[in-house]
């Protein structure tokens, strides 16, 4: 029986985004506040995913043994360290979240059956690496508050109530939406980045957060004048807004996850397709109910 198990670990460390071949002004322009001397710190949270067959004891691996491997190869070396100096790999490629995850994979894969390394720099920024060369995934999260009403414009009030229940009430209702945007790309061999994080955050702010926040979606967002603003349709619209701008930044939009409430969330996966003549991307909505 094939199974995936996950082990959590954590470490606290500092780093600085600084390239010696660039001038001080060039580093500041490129990395912003992250270039400041002597660096800044994070409480990193690490998840190691392992795959294998269940043994006679009902385990993929003894997690006590896994814990010791992670401690020896990763956390004991990185905890309370200055990352730029602790591992030689970070002399060549800066210790960005995505690059740290990649190097952790390289350190652990000779001893553990890895399928994924997930590293949280903080709760609103994390990277995933799955052993595919320099390809990595980076997720940023944000939020906006908005109201909506679920009612199809071509249906009667009675029919809308039959379909959408109390969500069809005429004056609508609101949510504090939590948005996660995942991009994928190649880690730059020098900067350690798959995308400029500041530019990515600005695109999301300009195209989604600012126009959507504190609005009545049905009335304030033209798209939803004729499209019912379900979580799925909102996530789909956000993915369509972000695809081209993220591509212009040198990365690809991989996933948009919209959490409407603690019980309901929706994920849109964006895959290359020749079927969509407008975007070149096929969006696949998946509604997750907890």
Distances in Å between the Cα of 137 and the Cα atoms of 14, 119, 129, 130, 171 are 22, 10, 6, 9, 40
User: Contact at 8 Å (CB) between 75 and 10?
Assistant: yes
**Is 214 considered catalytic here?**
yes
Residue 60, both tokens:
């993929």
Residue that is written with structure tokens 């979606």 in the block: 217
Catalytic residue among 260, 266, 267, 270: 260
Taking the C-alpha atoms of residue 131 and residue 79, their distance in angstroms, rounded to an integer, is: 23
Strands (E), 164-220: 173-186, 215-216
* Active-site position among 40, 122, 173, 214: 214
Q: Of all helices (H) and strands (E), which one includes residue 78?
A: helix 76-78
Q: Is 237 a catalytic residue?
A: no
Q: What angle do CA 179, 182, 183 make, to 5 degrees?
A: 145
- State how far Cα 90 lies from the chain centre: 23
190 to each of 197, 227, 260, how far by Cα in Å? 15, 44, 38
Catalytic residue among 89, 167, 178, 205: 167
Determine whether 270 is an active site residue.
no
Active site residues: 167, 214, 260
């Amino acid at each position: 029986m094939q199974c995936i198990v996950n082990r959590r670990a954590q470490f606290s460390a500092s780093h600085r985004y600084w390239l010696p071949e660039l001038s001080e002004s060039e580093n500041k322009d490129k990395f912003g506040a992250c270039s400041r001397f002597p660096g800044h710190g994070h409480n990193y949270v690490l998840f190691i995913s392992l795959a294998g067959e269940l043994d006679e004891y009902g385990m993929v691996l003894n997690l006590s043994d896994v814990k010791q491997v992670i401690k020896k190869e990763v956390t004991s070396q990185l905890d309370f360290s200055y990352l730029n100096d602790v591992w030689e790999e970070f002399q060549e490629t800066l210790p960005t979240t995505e690059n740290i995850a990649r190097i952790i994979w390289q350190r652990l894969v000779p001893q553990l059956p890895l399928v994924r390394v997930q590293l949280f720099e903080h709760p609103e920024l994390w990277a995933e690496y799955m052993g595919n060369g320099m390809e990595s995934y980076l997720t940023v999260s944000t939020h906006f508050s908005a109201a909506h009403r679920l009612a199809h414009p071509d249906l009667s009030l009675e029919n809308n109530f039959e379909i959408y229940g109390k969500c069809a009430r005429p004056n609508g209702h609101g949510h504090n939406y939590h948005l996660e945007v995942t991009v994928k790309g190649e880690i730059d061999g020098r900067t350690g980045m798959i995308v400029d994080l500041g530019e990515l955050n600005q695109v999301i702010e300009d195209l989604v957060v600012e126009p959507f926040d504190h609005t009545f979606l049905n009335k304030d967002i033209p798209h939803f004048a004729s499209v019912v603003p379900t979580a799925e349709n909102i996530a789909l619209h956000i993915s369509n807004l972000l695809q081209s701008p993220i591509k212009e930044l040198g990365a690809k939009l991989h996933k948009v996850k919209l959490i409407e409430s603690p019980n309901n969330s929706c994920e849109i996966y964006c895959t290359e397709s020749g079927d969509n003549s407008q975007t070149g991307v096929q969006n696949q909505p998946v509604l997750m109910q907890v």
